[in-house]
């Protein structure tokens, strides 16, 4: 690729945008390695969730979300991006290799999404009682197609109720499993830790003990069923295949969907239990219907400010630059 060489402040700005991506349990399972031509994105296996996500499907999707942010931030800086997925079978953790060049061309359309990177949040509260107009839904749906995936809005009372039932069943299965609760508790951290599901420092030990000890599946399921049925927009992101490459596509599509939605005034959150519980996933696929459901999300207009969740420092996620020249 031609163009001027990448400057250090370019890749630092790109990584700063990438780490604002969503990730399951806010594990932030990514690492970045500057290279001569650009940047490598690697999975950080130490941050896997073996109970919630035994195949690293959500881990890979989370990294795909970070990759989308890299691509958008590069566009906003007028950089052209050439991205190859899973480029080296001898290094399976290497998820994507980006070649970046300063071509000084007008910023491509993706640059319009850049301001949404810092204002997107997972909003688990109720949304404003205001429908999402059909043209907004159509633009969000179209954004998933750009990345080779499909977003299926769930419409009709009966289908919504069926999917809400699956969410409730998923909650019940997960909360009944002490190892799932232990894993969740292990990722409940004081906000200052820079990762995990942030809690006030003083409340953390008690909240962890409660989650580890009690099956709260009944109460959580009832709340989640209501949230599902009442979501202004309820939608399932699906892919044609179910390989690591598909999960990377799904992650990029998810972040494009979230940034597009944010640009149009929406926020979103996830009700991913029927995808995470293996026995429920085929039932969700039939209910939508779609080939391979990857995430169930709800979106709407937020009613107030949502505080940002913590992030790790840049130097914790950047590996030493690669010295040998890669292809
Ligand atoms: C693949 C994936 C799955 C997720 N699943 C859930 C979920 O089931 N429930 C939930 O409340 N949040 C879920 N999240 C949201 C994360 O908890 C959230 O991104 C993280 O806490 C960081 O917060 P932020 O998105 O506000 O930056 C998921 C995120 C990703 C990327």
Got the DSSP string for 165-203? HHHHHHHHHHHT-HHHHHHHHHTEEEGGGSSSEEE-GGG
Atom of ligand 1 nearest to the CA of 308: 26
Which of 19, 23, 267 to mutate for ligand 1's pocket (most ligand atoms within 8 Å of CB)? 23
Q: What is the mean pLDDT of residues 302-306?
A: 94
* 60 CA → ligand 1 middle, Å: 13
Q: What torsion, rounded to 10 degrees, do the Cα atoms 142, 104, 251, 311 define?
A: -130
Model confidence band, residue 126 (pLDDT cutoffs 50, 70, 90):
very high
Which of 270, 276, 307, 310 to mutate for ligand 1's pocket (most ligand atoms within 8 Å of CB)? 270
Instruction: Write out residues with Cβ below 6 Å of ligand 1.
Output: 22-26, 58, 61-62, 65, 121-122, 124, 197, 269-270, 272, 295, 309
Whether 236 contacts 151, CB under 8 Å: yes
* 272 CA → ligand 1 middle, Å: 9
Question: Nearest 5 degrees, angle CA 208-CA 213-CA 216?
Answer: 90
pLDDT in tens, 84-95: 999 999 999 999
Which of 58, 117, 272 to mutate for ligand 1's pocket (most ligand atoms within 8 Å of CB)? 272
Alpha-helix residue ranges (DSSP H) falling in the chain: 8-18, 57-76, 114-119, 134-146, 157-175, 178-186, 204-213, 217-230, 244-263, 273-276, 281-287, 314-317
Q: DSSP code of 72?
A: H
Query: How much is the pLDDT for 213?
Result: 86
Cis, peptide link before residue 289, omega less than 30° from 0: yes
Backbone angles phi, psi at 270, to 5 degrees: -120, 145
3-state secondary structure of 115: helix
For residue 298, list its beta bridge partners.
234, 269
Query: How much is the pLDDT for 327?
Result: 47
Whether 268 contacts 258, CB under 8 Å: yes
Which of 22, 124, 195, 259 to mutate for ligand 1's pocket (most ligand atoms within 8 Å of CB)? 22
* 97 CA → ligand 1 middle, Å: 25
The position carrying tokens 């009613």 is 303
- Kindly report the pTM of this predicted structure: 0.96
* 259 CA → ligand 1 middle, Å: 14
Query: How much is the pLDDT for 1?
Result: 46
Handedness of CA 120, 48, 151, 163 (dihedral sign): negative
How far out from the chain centre does Cα 79 lie?
24
Average model confidence (pLDDT) across the chain: 93
Q: What is the mean pLDDT of residues 267-275?
A: 97
Q: What is the mean pLDDT of residues 20-32?
A: 98
- Nearest-CA residue for ligand 1 atom 2 is 24
Residue 158: CB partners within 8 Å, gap ≥ 6?
none
Please count the residues of the chain: 327
The position carrying tokens 């400010």 is 305
* 25 CA → ligand 1 middle, Å: 6
Check whether 215 has a pLDDT greater than 90.
no
Hey, what domains does the chain have and what are their CATH numbers? Answer: 8-114+309-317 (3.40.109.10), 134-176+215-300 (3.40.109.10)
Residue 141: CB partners within 8 Å, gap ≥ 6?
151, 153, 235
Whether 113 contacts 17, CB under 8 Å: no
Backbone angles phi, psi at 97, to 5 degrees: -120, 125
Whether 62 contacts 23, CB under 8 Å: yes
Query: How much is the pLDDT for 281?
Result: 98
Q: DSSP code of 109?
A: G
């Amino acid at each position: 690729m031609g163009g001027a060489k990448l400057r250090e402040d370019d890749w630092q700005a790109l990584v700063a945008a990438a780490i604002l991506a969503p990730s399951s349990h806010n594990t932030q399972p990514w690492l970045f390695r500057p290279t001569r031509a650009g940047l490598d994105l690697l999975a950080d296996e130490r941050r896997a969730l073996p109970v919630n996500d035994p195949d690293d499907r959500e881990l890979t999707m989370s990294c795909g979300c970070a990759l989308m942010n890299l691509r958008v931030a590069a566009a906003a800086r007028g950089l052209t991006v050439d991205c190859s997925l899973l480029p080296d079978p001898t290094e399976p953790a290497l998820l994507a290799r980006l070649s970046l060049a300063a071509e000084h061309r007008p910023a491509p359309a993706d640059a319009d999404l850049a301001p949404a990177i810092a204002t997107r949040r997972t909003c688990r509260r109720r949304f404003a009682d205001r429908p999402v107009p059909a043209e907004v839904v159509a633009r969000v749906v179209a954004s998933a197609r750009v990345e080779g995936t499909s977003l299926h809005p769930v419409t009709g009372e009966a289908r919504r109720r069926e999917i809400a039932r699956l969410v409730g069943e998923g909650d019940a299965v997960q909360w009944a499993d002490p190892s799932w609760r232990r894993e969740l508790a292990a990722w409940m951290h004081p906000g200052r830790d820079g990762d995990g599901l942030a809690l006030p420092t003083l409340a953390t030990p008690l909240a962890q003990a409660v989650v580890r000890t009690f099956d709260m599946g009944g109460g959580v399921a009832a709340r989640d069923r209501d949230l599902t049925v009442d979501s202004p927009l309820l939608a399932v992101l699906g892919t044609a295949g179910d390989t690591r490459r598909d999960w990377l596509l799904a992650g990029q599509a998810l972040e494009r969907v979230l940034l597009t939605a944010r640009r149009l005034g929406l926020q979103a959150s996830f009700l991913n239990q029927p995808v995470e519980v293996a026995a429920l996933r085929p039932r969700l696929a039939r209910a939508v219907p779609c080939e391979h459901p990857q995430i169930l999300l709800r979106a709407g207009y937020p009613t107030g400010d949502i505080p940002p969740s913590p992030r790790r420092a840049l130097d914790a996620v950047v590996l030493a630059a690669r010295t040998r020249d890669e292809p």
